[in-house]
Each structure stands twice: as C-alpha cells, then as structure tokens.
Amino acid sequence: MLKTKDILDEKDKRLRLISKEVQFPLTKKDQELIDTMIQYLHDSQINELSEKYDLRPGMGMSAIQLGVAKRYFVVVNELTDPETEDDQKEFETYVLVNPKIISNSMEQIYVTEGEGCLSVNRPVDGIVPRYARVTMEGYDRDGNKIQVRAREELAICFQHELDHLNGILFTDHIDPKNPFKGKDQMRGI
C-alpha cells in the first residue's frame, strides 16, 4: 500500500524532470502504478481510511511524484459533499495518459485557500493563476483517445498535474515578491 512518505518531496530533483511520452500498451508495472495511485487518492479522501493509514488527502497524482518520469496522471474527484458519510461518498476517476490542453477559457481563477500538493508538505501563501475551464486530450489506460472538459476545481487539478509532467511545481507560479499579484484580475474559488 502506498503511503504519504512514498511520495517525492519538493526537494527531490526528480520532480523537475520532464516526463516522457508513454507507448501503448502500457506495461504491467504502469497499470499497477495507476491502480496504486487511484487507491491512494480514493482512500485519502475517506476520513476513516486517511486517519487509519496516515494518508495526506489528495485529489490528483502524477507518476513523477512516485519517481516514474512518464506522462500520466490520475485524478479522483469526490462528487458528493465532503461532509457526506464515508460509506455514502461517490467519486469520479480520471486517468490521463500523454495529456495536453487543447483549449482553455480566457477567464482565470485561483484557489482562495491556496493550492496544495502531495509533494509540498508546508503551507504556501500566494495565488496560482489557472484557467477556469480546460479541455484536455490524451488517452485512457487502454490506449483509447479521450477528451475531457473540466471546469473550476477539476480544471485546476488537471493543470496542476500537467505541470508536474513538465517539471513544474505550483509554487513556481507564485511571485515571490508579490504572492497575491493579480488577485483583482481573477476569480477566487
């Protein structure tokens, strides 16, 4: 079982690698890693399991965060209110292989409480500008071409994970001299 300690910390230079395109069919090892990532993200959003296994809650994870420099990520999006009882929670799971943004809104948004990351184990103040809506194209784990439209929180998560595949951390988007620069030109969510 994947533990929070297995996820690369921001100080690890491997997080700065640009991940390589994936060839199909996926290897058994890649399929297993995807399953592991899905399980971690799912369990981390269920209070009882996150406490029992000491999992830091997360919505998305890229292969590079586990030291695998391949272009795929997983997002597990909770569809129910976070206050819903654990056994009633519903999730939608996305696996994107060789993803790219093919269109985006002009409107930019940011997370008002600040973006977080399973690889950044500290509070970070500042605004990370993100597109309010994106359409991503890529492949599912079976090699079928897919397109996914995302808005708001899901769009932010997709952009965050795509950044990981390009060696970028969310902290890179924050202006160190003026962390809240541009706040009045974007919508907080």
Q: What values do phi and psi take at 188, rounded to 5? A: -85, 145
152 flagged as catalytic: no
Task: Report the DSSP pairing between strands 145-151 and 187-188.
Answer: unpaired
Q: Are 40 and 2 in contact (CB under 8 A)?
A: yes
Query: Among the residues of the chain, which ranges form H helices?
Result: 28-44, 47-52, 152-165
**E strands present in the chain:** 60-62, 72-78, 91-104, 108-110, 130-131, 133-139, 145-151, 187-188
For residues 33 and 17, what is the distance between their CA atoms, to the nearest angstrom? 18
- Active site amino acids: 161
